[in-house]
Homo-oligomer: A and B are copies of this chain.
Amino acid sequence: MYFGSDNQTGASPQVLDMLTVANNEYTHGYGDDRWTNQAIEALKTLFECDLEAYFVATGTAANSLALSCMVQPWDAILCHDSAHIILDESTAPELFTGGARMVPISNGEGKISPQHLKDYFQTIGTDYPHNVRATALSITQASESGLVYTPTEISALSAVAKDNGLSVHMDGARFSNAVASQQCTPAELSWKAGVDVLCLGATKCGALCAEVVIFFNKELAATFTHRRKRGGHLLSKGRVFGAQMVGWLQDDHWLDLAQYANTQATQLAKQIATFDRLQLVWPVESNELFVIMPKGLAVHLQDAGAEFYDWYVTTLPPNILIDEDEMFARLVTSFVTQDSQCEAFCELIHDYFAAQ
């Protein structure tokens, strides 16, 4: 019953196999190898456009390096109150941008809306250089609440952003889950909707450590190689990323993995919804569930070996109240989640309430 995080799995066999194959070759270092090149070509095909793509080992590195190409040190990045970049990445964005600032604008709602952006621009001071100047918008896909922005929603955000001179960054740590969740293409969910830079994560969905910063707006990529190197993020054995990504992208493997994880989440959500005492905070649109449950139940589950995290209550909508004897839990499914795990989990819930 492992619902702790989608980063607690290994790589999928297909991804690991490709790494094993690549391991046996002699290649040049620093990404000058056929695996890296092949991965980049696969990305161009997948996204149906020309692009620049750079690999790094972590989502924090991907996001921070990407943002550092989009803002000056005296600029601001608008983002969701619960964005991973503002909540879970220490002050990495500040380090890599040279001290730019993240400004949360979503007021506790599950997704950023165009109105949030408009409100920001209507009230913010623009007396430069005293005030910071917003020059980037960062959205997370799937969002921190497990919600998915539709192409239409992204386009609406991008339109307001661009009207105000902002470029658009997408933290796609769970982009694969978002694509699997929508009836649309990766292109529709990114550059066609106005995204300039996408940090596409494979790690949470089948790779060991492979994130790729994709510049649809290639001008923004001008300084990336310098930034990656001086961040210590240029691997000498570049094939490590290239091979994983080739394996991950081949034959829609990435989408299959994401679809599987999403389905597990949806099914688990259905079962959880049958319990009156449990509250699903947001609709389940990808592979995350956010559940308010009695603390006693949480202990019961964890004692039985279930893994999941106490989540940040700061990320709750203001209208959601948690009683003292309740806990706000996050459950995450992945490509290795088994039906039997979900069943066992719900069985435990059932037993707990039956014993009350």
Interfacial residues, chain A to chain B (CB-CB below 8 A): 2, 4-5, 7-11, 16, 19-20, 22-29, 56-62, 64-65, 72-75, 87-92, 94-96, 98-102, 123-125, 128-132, 203-204, 208-209, 223, 225-237, 239-240, 312-314, 336
Contacts and interface: CB of A to CB of B under 8 A. Distances in A.
A230 B92 contact: yes
A94 B88 contact: no
Given A240-B209, A314-B125, A232 B61 contact: yes
Contact of A94 (B99, B130, B236): B99
B28 A10 contact: no
A22 B313 CA distance: 34
B11 A23 contact: yes
Nearest to A65: B232
A27 B8 contact: yes
A131 B87 contact: yes
Q: SS class of chain A's interface: helix, strand, loop or mixed?
A: loop
Given A4-B29, A10-B23, 10 more contacts: A8-B26, A16-B23, A75-B91, A88-B130, A90-B131, A90-B226, A92-B231, A94-B94, A208-B237, A209-B235
Contact of A233 (B61, B130, B229): B61
A129 B5 contact: no
